[in-house]
Each structure stands twice: as structure tokens, then as C-alpha cells.
């Protein structure tokens, strides 16, 4: 008589996931979390680049370009996909130099995702951002809905995604879920050209050289979040029963700080650390148009969102990871 010795072979999950654009700052970490929860082979990571070896060997990886409708549809059907996490995006720096490409990926790509999801009854998660607000939005939190007139193409594309997803939800019953992420801080990937990137770069500088030149003014307050909180929030909203989500787009927040606050917190550990300021007018203007804090009481009320990392926990975690990472590089 045969027994199912290999338990993982019999892992029962109702959900099969695909993560698009999964090799960026957030995708690899989310994939790890989803695989722990839903089984390794039920979560497919995809991107248009070759993965590093450790990612390739950690579970299913395939090529998928979100601009190739038929190919993406084929992947969804062949793998009985039930959940699509849409992380594909063009890096800011690249997006500015090739707006045509950025518009294709951010806007046409989203349309492809929504159409495939509706056609094959997938659930969809799309991240938005604090960049979806603009100078006419209240800079200090005001409750519930507010004016969103962003002035960057990035923000405009994100508001478009929020509205399209909500439209498909009401019109076709698509299970669309969206979180507005603050600036996300993580140790193992270097961000590329965004407005909140200083808050990652500063840790590498503090550990390597003991000094840092900041491109935002010292008093620029922005909402930020440690990556572990961001990924857990994402897992939690994916798992939330549909009836607990009266809204389909939620703010999530953890902390807000200025470059000066962050510097002082790092100096508690590294007292000799020095920061100078050389303001980049382009990124400063973008930061000045964003909210200083995100009002997230709806997420806390509807699906129990609760952050774990405040500024001091963030600084401890980042300094630990960045220092260990450096030692590993030096040992190699
Ligand atoms: N990281 C943050 O601080 C932050 C904050 C707010 C919102 N977000 C949003 O979260 C999502 C993921 O962020 P991230 O920082 O991991 O992004 P990222 O820019 O680091 O990675 C995006 C990935 O998309 C891939 N990609 C580009 N074109 C593609 C295409 N045609 N088809 C498939 N994949 C393609 C890229 O190769 C890249 O690996 C993005 O939508 C971003 O706007 C991120
Ligand atoms: C396909 O996925 C659905 C859930 O979306 C599940 O109920 C079904 O059992 C899956 N089929 C196979 C063959 O895995
Ligand atoms: C596309 O999205 C990326 C990040 O998600 C952003 O940096 C870029 O500016 C956006 N470009 C457009 C045209 O929306
Ligand atoms: C910009 O993107 C478009 C669309 O993908 C592409 O055809 C064009 O060659 C790109 N231009 C540059 C300068 O890379
Ligand atoms: C999201 O945050 C902004 C900025 O704090 C706030 O004005 C808006 O009302 C919030 N939206 C929701 C739905 O909570």
C-alpha cells in the first residue's frame, strides 16, 4: 500500500500565485513569505531579467513580460493561477529617460493585468504609493478620502491604477486589492532613483564611510516603513476575507521622519556619523508635494493592520543587516 510520505507533495492550498516584476526591491521577500504560507510550488516568481542563483534555486521562476498579453495569459491558465501580485514597474531613473517605456509598463501593463484577471477570475494585488497624492492633498492626515492631484507621471499612473482597479471591482466584480505603500526601507537591495531612497543609502554610508550627503532638506518629513512590515501588510490584505474589505485601496503607515530625525537616531549607535545637505531641487519638489504622514485608521479598523517597526527598531534592524552584509562581502 502506498503512503503519501512526501508531505509537501500533498500540500493543500486553494491558491496559486504569480508575482510579476518580482526581482525588484520587494518581490523576492514577498515570495518567501507567500511560499512559507501557501507552499513552495504554489508561488511562481516572474520577471523579465535573469534571477540570481539563490533565487533561481529557491522555487519556481519563469520569464514573464506583462506587455505580452498572450504569454501572461498562457502562464495563468497553465498554472491554474488564482492570485496575481503586480509588482512590475520601470525604475524612476529609467522612467524619466524613457517615458514611452514607462507609460507602457505602468499603464498598458496594468490594463493587461486587469483584463487577464477579469477573464480568468483571478484576484489581483497592485501596490500604490504616497506619490498618488499631490500638493492639493492635505499634508497632515485628514480622515478618509481626499483630493488626489499628483504632479509626477509616477503618481498619475498610480492614481490611474487605483481608479481602474476599483472600477473593475464595481463593474465586473474583480477582487482588486491595493495598498498605498510609504517609502520602503530594506537592507539587501539598493533602490534606484526614487525620492525616499536617501533613507536606505544613509545606512550604507553610515557603516562604510561615516558620512553622507543628503539630497533632501533636513526637515523634510515623509512616511516610511521597514520592509518586514510592508510585506506582512501585503500578506495580511491578501488573506483578508473579501467581506472585511469595504474599501479596495488602503493607506498603510508605520512612522514619519525627517533626514535630521534619522541622523540623530543613527548617531545614538554611531556618534561620529556626519550628514551634510546638498538639496536636489527636483526630488525636493516631489517630496514637498507628498503627504508628511499617511492616515491609515481604515486599515487598522477593517483588517487589523498594526505596524511593528518604529524609528528606533528600524535603525537597529538596518544597521545590523547592513553591517553583517558588509562583513560577508569582505570575507568573500
Ligand atoms: N519600493 C518602494 O519604496 C515602493 C513604494 C511605493 C510603491 N512601490 C511599488 O511597489 C512595486 C514594486 O516595487 P519595487 O521597489 O520592488 O520595484 P522595482 O522597480 O525594484 O522592481 C520592478 C521590477 O519590474 C520588472 N519589470 C520591468 N518591466 C517589466 C515588464 N514589462 N514585465 C515584467 N516585469 C517588468 C523589473 O525588471 C524589476 O525587477 C512597484 O509597483 C512600486 O511602484 C514601491
Ligand atoms: C485550481 O485552483 C482552484 C482555486 O483557484 C482550486 O480549487 C482547484 O482545485 C485547482 N485545480 C488544480 C488542478 O489544482
Ligand atoms: C512607472 O513606475 C515607476 C515605479 O513604480 C516610477 O518610478 C516611474 O516614474 C513610473 N513612470 C510612469 C511614466 O508612470
Ligand atoms: C524607449 O522605449 C520604447 C518602447 O519600449 C522603445 O521602442 C525605445 O527604443 C526606447 N528608447 C530608448 C532611447 O531606449
Ligand atoms: C490616506 O492618507 C492621506 C494622507 O494622510 C489622507 O489625506 C487620506 O484621507 C487617507 N485616505 C484614506 C482612505 O484613509
Contact 227, 188 (CB under 8 A): no
The grid coordinates listed for 7 are 508531505
- The atom number, within ligand 5, closest to the CA of 293 reads 5
**pLDDT for residue 210:** 96
Residue 302, ligand 5, Cβ within 6 A: no
Give CA separation, 220 vs 133, 139, 157, 206, in Å: 16, 12, 24, 20
Quick one: which ligand is closest to 42's CA?
Answer: 2
| DSSP 8-state class, residue 88 | -
Q: How many CA atoms lie within 13 A of 35 on its CB side?
A: 18
The fold for domain 17-182+226-251 equals: Rossmann fold (3.40.50)
Q: How far apart are CA 42 and CA 44, in angstroms?
A: 7
Q: For cell 503586480, what's the residue? A: 86
Q: How far apart are CA 225 and CA 182, in angstroms?
A: 6
Q: For cell 511562481, what's the residue? A: 44
Please choose from 44, 51, 64, 89 the residue to mutate so as to test ligand 1's pocket, defined by most ligand atoms within 8 A of CB. Answer: 89
- The atom number, within ligand 2, closest to the CA of 14 reads 4
**pLDDT for residue 329:** 58
pLDDT tens digits, 106-165: 899 999 999 999 999 999 999 999 989 888 888 776 556 788 888 887 888 999 999 999
Angle at the Cα of 223 from the Cα atoms of 217 and 225, rounded to 5 degrees? 120
Q: How many CB atoms lie within 10 A of CB 154?
A: 21
Angle at the Cα of 328 from the Cα atoms of 325 and 331, rounded to 5 degrees? 150
pLDDT tens digits, 262-297: 999 999 999 999 999 999 998 999 999 999 999 999
Closest CA to 319 of 192, 185, 195: 185
- Which regions of the chain carry the CATH code 3.90.25? 197-222+255-293+309-331
**pLDDT for residue 134:** 87
**pLDDT for residue 4:** 47
Residues annotated as catalytic (active site), given as ranges: 154
Across the chain, the runs of DSSP E, i.e. the strands, are 17-20, 43-47, 61-63, 83-86, 123-129, 175-181, 183-185, 211-214, 222-226, 249-251, 255-257, 274-277
Q: How far apart are CA 152 and CA 295, in angstroms?
A: 21
Query: Which residues of the chain, if any, have pLDDT below 50?
Result: 1-10, 332
Question: Measuring from atom 2 of ligand 4, which residue has the nearest CA?
Answer: 101
Expressed in angstroms and rounded, the spacing between residue 152 Cα and the centre of ligand 5 is 18
Q: How far apart are CA 283 and CA 193, in angstroms?
A: 9
- Which regions of the chain carry the CATH code 3.40.50.720? 17-182+226-251
Architecture per CATH, domain 197-222+255-293+309-331, reads as: Alpha-Beta Complex (3.90)
Expressed in angstroms and rounded, the spacing between residue 24 Cα and the centre of ligand 1 is 5
Kindly list the protein residues whose Cβ atom lies closer than 6 A to any atom of ligand 1: 20-21, 23-27, 47-49, 65-67, 87-91, 105, 109, 127, 129, 181, 183-184
Amino acid at each position: 500500500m502506498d503512503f503519501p510520505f512526501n508531505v509537501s507533495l500533498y500540500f493543500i492550498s486553494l491558491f496559486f500565485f504569480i508575482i510579476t516584476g518580482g526581482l525588484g526591491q520587494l518581490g523576492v521577500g514577498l515570495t518567501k513569505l507567500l511560499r512559507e504560507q501557501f507552499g513552495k510550488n504554489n508561488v511562481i516568481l516572474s520577471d523579465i531579467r535573469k534571477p540570481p542563483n539563490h533565487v533561481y534555486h529557491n522555487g519556481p521562476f519563469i520569464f514573464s513580460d506583462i506587455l505580452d498579453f498572450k504569454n501572461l495569459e498562457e502562464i495563468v491558465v497553465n498554472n491554474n493561477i488564482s492570485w496575481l501580485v503586480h509588482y512590475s514597474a520601470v525604475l524612476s531613473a529609467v522612467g524619466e529617460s524613457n517615458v514611452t517605456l514607462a507609460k507602457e509598463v505602468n499603464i498598458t501593463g496594468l490594463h493587461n493585468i486587469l483584463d487577464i484577471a477579469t477573464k480568468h477570475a483571478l484576484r489581483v494585488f497592485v501596490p500604490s504609493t504616497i506619490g498618488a497624492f499631490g500638493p492639493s492633498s492635505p499634508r497632515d492626515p485628514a480622515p478618509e478620502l481626499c483630493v488626489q492631484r499628483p504632479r509626477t507621471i509616477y503618481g498619475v499612473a498610480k492614481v490611474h491604477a487605483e481608479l481602474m482597479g476599483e472600477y473593475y471591482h464595481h463593474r465586473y466584480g474583480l477582487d482588486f486589492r491595493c495598498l498605498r505603500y510609504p517609502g520602503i526601507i530594506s537592507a539587501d537591495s539598493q533602490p534606484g532613483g526614487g525620492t525616499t531612497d536617501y533613507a536606505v543609502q544613509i545606512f550604507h554610508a553610515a557603516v562604510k564611510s561615516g558620512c553622507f550627503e543628503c539630497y533632501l532638506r533636513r526637515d523634510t518629513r515623509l512616511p516610511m516603513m521597514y520592509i518586514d512590515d510592508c510585506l506582512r501588510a501585503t500578506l495580511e490584505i491578501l488573506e483578508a476575507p473579501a467581506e472585511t474589505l469595504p474599501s479596495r485601496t488602503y493607506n498603510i503607515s508605520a512612522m514619519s521622519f525627517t533626514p535630521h530625525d534619522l541622523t540623530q537616531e543613527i548617531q545614538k549607535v554611531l556618534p561620529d556619523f556626519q550628514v551634510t545637505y546638498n538639496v536636489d531641487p527636483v526630488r525636493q519638489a516631489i517630496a514637498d508635494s507628498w503627504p508628511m504622514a499617511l492616515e491609515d485608521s481604515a486599515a487598522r479598523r477593517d483588517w487589523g493592520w498594526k505596524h511593528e517597526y518604529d524609528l528606533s527598531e528600524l535603525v537597529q534592524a538596518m544597521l545590523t543587516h547592513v553591517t553583517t552584509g558588509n562583513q560577508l562581502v569582505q570575507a568573500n
